[in-house]
Structure 1
Amino acid sequence: MFINTIKQAIEKFKLLQKGDRVLLAISGGLDSVALLEVFCLLQKEYKLSLFVSHYDHKIRKNSYKDAMFVYQLCKQKSIPFFYTASPVPLYAKREKLSLEMAGRELRYRLWYFLAKKYDLQRVALAHHLDDLAEEVFLKIIRGTGKRGLSGIPIKREDLIIRPFLFVSKEEIRRFVEERGLKWVEDPTNNDLRFVRNKVRHLLIPYLEQNFNKNIKQNLKKVALIIAEEEELIEDLAKKHYEKLKSFDGKNIRLKLYDLKQLSTTLRKRIYFLVFQEINLPLFRVSFSHIENLERLLTKHVKGPVYLPGDYIAYRGPGYLAFSKKVFNLPFFELEIKTEGEYLLPNQEILKVYKIKTSEIKKTPLVMCFSAKKLSFPFIIRNRKPGDKVFIPSLGHKKLKKFFQEKGIPHHLRDQVLIIEHEGKIIAVWGIYIAPAYRPKEDEEVLVLEVFPLK
């Protein structure tokens, strides 16, 4: 009966396809042991390849025992086992996060990494109906929009799946006991210092006893209705996002005018699509971050808007840009004496090489010069006081004014590479090349290309 209920959820929400490679997140607790058992029972029918990930948060001294328990389960079932350990309390302290949020962020980061490295199509988690109810109440307590009231999605980005989401903890327990399975108990689940545990052990039982014993089932209905509406909004947002976005190197830009024409609801959803694409930690995004983006859009704040994970958003001429936070660099000067690779102060690699004109790649990370004109040695540096650029027919112009005219934000100007030859600025990265140094047809080209440090 329990297996049939799970299969119905899998079919209804298209959680699996035959032949999928599935990573199971197994802590060793009751719920995850049930998840492992269910997928082993479904493995032949769906032709699944199964893998297990166990994350040791290093919160308890004897947490390694849980890892050994899961390892033994995997050994018995001949399932590949990934063990990862990380001192989550130290990470939480460094990043100023709660233990719960820090652990969640690190786990998801790991799962996405494993999925990409080992070509896994699904990551299955053991969240159930009781977890869904807890999450809805937590979102209300902390403050949320309508999206938050959908609780925990049963499927996320076609990778994360939660096949137990609409069965209760009690149903899972009965299944485990009927199968004669063993599990480990995590004592932190009863620690009332965690808000989630207060909701689980105090708030929900109180509401069930004094208001409605079916409150979890009712929340399930509400969450399903909202989730269906949210899926529609998400689809609309994705269609608009594809039309709005463009790339400037590693940065994402949104067309400012078109973005303003959309409803506030769609705009806010588009911000989250940007966050997903640049791998910004979504768990850290708060109401104030989204409101500040809206104020930036309407010029009520000048920007930049600082986002979690060292990301920023800023306005440019006709666009709203999202990028990794840029820290001000001290002045540097790098002499380029020959072809080869050079390490830049921002931990990027500058590659210098020669090619033919026909082989030129036009990207924001490449600049091309006439090899006859730009001879070795030359200088790569960032701006310094008094810099001027010579513009034919206009004469010399201060670099500061040149940046203003080109819409380069203040906080990015120290990062812009200046190319100096024979004591003169002959190029500003991505903006300007002196006409005499531009490559002509059928001549050798000197290429400067930037790569992130691996």
Structure 2
Amino acid sequence: MTEKIKLSRYSFEFLKHLNTFILRANLFSAKQRPVIALSGGVDSVALAYSILLSVRNGICVTNKLPRFIHIDHGTRPEIKKEMISLKKWAAELGVEFSSVDLDLSLSDGNFEMKARSQRYKSFNSFLKEDEILLTGHHLDDSFEWTMMQSLKSSSLSGSLGIPVKGPRVVRPFLCLSKAQITRFAKDNGLMWFEDESNNDLDFERNYIRKLIKDNIAVKYPKYLKHYARRQNTLADKLGLSVFKNESTKLDIKKRDWGHIVKVEGSLNEHCLELSKLITKSSSKGRGRISDQYIKLVASYNKSNGEYRGPLSFSGGVKVYYSRPYVIIVSKGKSPHLYSVSSQIPDCVPFIKKANKKTSLKSAISIAEKKTQALLDEGVHFQLAWRNAHGQILYWF
């Protein structure tokens, strides 16, 4: 399975929401390879498949295929068969698979904490330098954790829920509910396994989960929506939010034909502001723009500074980029080149050498008349002249 996969509308929106969250929270970079903690439950199976689909369809921040790691706690005899099925599934997907055996017992005191500690210790020992671990924790898990911490601790940070980021681990499904994840899994015909120990109410997490399902969720069906908003507000006030202030780092220059944007770092940190800028230049609604923007960010973050464009957006908008610049051209507009000699602060350089026998006046005239064509062809100019005026640069 190496080609792009056709998606249903729900799966498309699911992946769009997931990858927008990954970008905004800057969960991992284009240089990192995702490693999925694959238990075999619906959450981890859906995470593994959604990240793989995102990479294959070009909407993930990285183009590196994920690999899967499975942990056998040694507490269930049927897990060996499950591991074989997961390994076969990974092979069908063309994904690397590893399995680690632990020696734990359900009768151990504080089994949940010991199992968690051993799992992460094993994961860390298997991670390579350029890899990052992804787990399938979601909003429902975080709400359960918040409830448990609220009953056992008075710490505000402790009641924030499960962290989105940790040392070499991220949890991209914390922007989704269990119901949304299960629907995605069913929508794509995925198979998963149910762990019978999840029904054992002697475990604290299972007891809280049943309490929520049988009582809170019935009485307050929108509890997760309000929980997510409240926790984001609290995290922001405590200075613990994963969403950075985006508006202070973009250097935006307005032109009569569009905008020139100088970007510091990756586009992940500027998702909201830059997508709004593109939407403002378009005659279409923001839904379609959002879809296209995800692909722009993924492409930009994978580039090594080479020129690319035009990327066509709904409403006639064209976008070009060459790190660290993004050039947004509004519908029906054409950018203009200007030229001066010597030092030019914050210019957009062009990198093709001209014939030094060509007169300066002729070179400028040709470039100014063919700006749009030069952009479409990806032609960059850097005209060096052996005279007192020094180097000539073209910029927007």
Change (3 A) 1:233 1:151: closer
* Corresponding residue of 1:112: 124
* Corresponding residue of 1:170: 179
Matches within 5 A, 1:133-148: 133-148=143-158
Give the Cα–Cα distance (whole angstroms) in 1 for the partners of residues 143 and 160 of structure 2: 10
What secondary structure is seen at the aligned counterpart in 1 of 2:91?
A: helix
Deviation of 1:66 after TM superposition, in Å, equals 2.0
Give the Cα–Cα distance (whole angstroms) in 1 for the partners of residues 177 and 104 of structure 2: 29
What secondary structure is seen at the aligned counterpart in 1 of 2:100?
A: strand
1:100-129 deviations in Å (ceiling 9; x for gaps): 1111001111122222xx224311011111
- The residue type equivalent to 1:145 in the other structure is S
**Is structure 2 residue 85 aligned with structure 1 residue 77?**
no
Counterpart pick for 2:81 among 65, 81, 104: 65
Structure with the greater alpha carbon radius of gyration: 1
Counterpart pick for 1:86 among 74, 81, 102: 102
Matches within 5 A, 1:408-419: none
Q: Which has the higher contact order (CA 8 A, sep 6+)?
A: 2
1:126-165 deviations in Å (ceiling 9; x for gaps): 11111111111111122241111111111123x2111111
State the percentage of identical aligned residues. Answer: 27
Deviation of 1:204 after TM superposition, in Å, equals 4.5
Give the Cα–Cα distance (whole angstroms) in 2 for the partners of residues 57 and 175 of structure 1: 27
* Corresponding residue of 1:201: 210
Deviation of 1:189 after TM superposition, in Å, equals 1.4
Deviation of 1:228 after TM superposition, in Å, equals 2.7
What secondary structure is seen at the aligned counterpart in 1 of 2:175?
A: coil
Change (3 A) 1:110 1:229: farther
Q: Under a length normalisation based on structure 1, what TM-score does the superposition of the two structures give?
A: 0.47
2:52/2:65 contact within 8 Å kept: no
* Corresponding residue of 2:15: 3
RMSD between superposed Cα atoms in Å: 2.0
Give the Cα–Cα distance (whole angstroms) in 2 for the partners of residues 231 and 156 of structure 1: 16
**Is structure 2 residue 150 aligned with structure 1 residue 155?**
no
Change (3 A) 1:188 1:173: same
* Corresponding residue of 1:38: 50
Q: Under a length normalisation based on structure 2, what TM-score does the superposition of the two structures give?
A: 0.54
Give the Cα–Cα distance (whole angstroms) in 1 for the partners of residues 77 and 191 of structure 2: 22
**Is structure 2 residue 197 aligned with structure 1 residue 188?**
yes
What secondary structure is seen at the aligned counterpart in 2 of 1:53?
A: strand
Give the Cα–Cα distance (whole angstroms) in 2 for the partners of residues 233 and 183 of structure 1: 33
Deviation of 1:179 after TM superposition, in Å, equals 0.6
* Corresponding residue of 1:219: 227
Give the Cα–Cα distance (whole angstroms) in 2 for the partners of residues 233 and 217 of structure 1: 17
**Is structure 2 residue 236 aligned with structure 1 residue 228?**
yes
- The residue type equivalent to 1:125 in the other structure is T
1:35/1:126 contact within 8 Å kept: yes
What secondary structure is seen at the aligned counterpart in 2 of 1:73?
A: helix
What secondary structure is seen at the aligned counterpart in 2 of 1:221?
A: helix
Deviation of 1:29 after TM superposition, in Å, equals 0.8
- Structure 1, unmatched stretches of 5+, are 235-454
Change (3 A) 1:2 1:232: closer
- Structure 2, unmatched stretches of 5+, are 1-12, 243-396
Q: How many residues are matched?
A: 226
Deviation of 1:201 after TM superposition, in Å, equals 1.3
What secondary structure is seen at the aligned counterpart in 2 of 1:165?
A: helix
- The residue type equivalent to 1:7 in the other structure is N
* Corresponding residue of 1:126: 136
* Corresponding residue of 1:26: 38
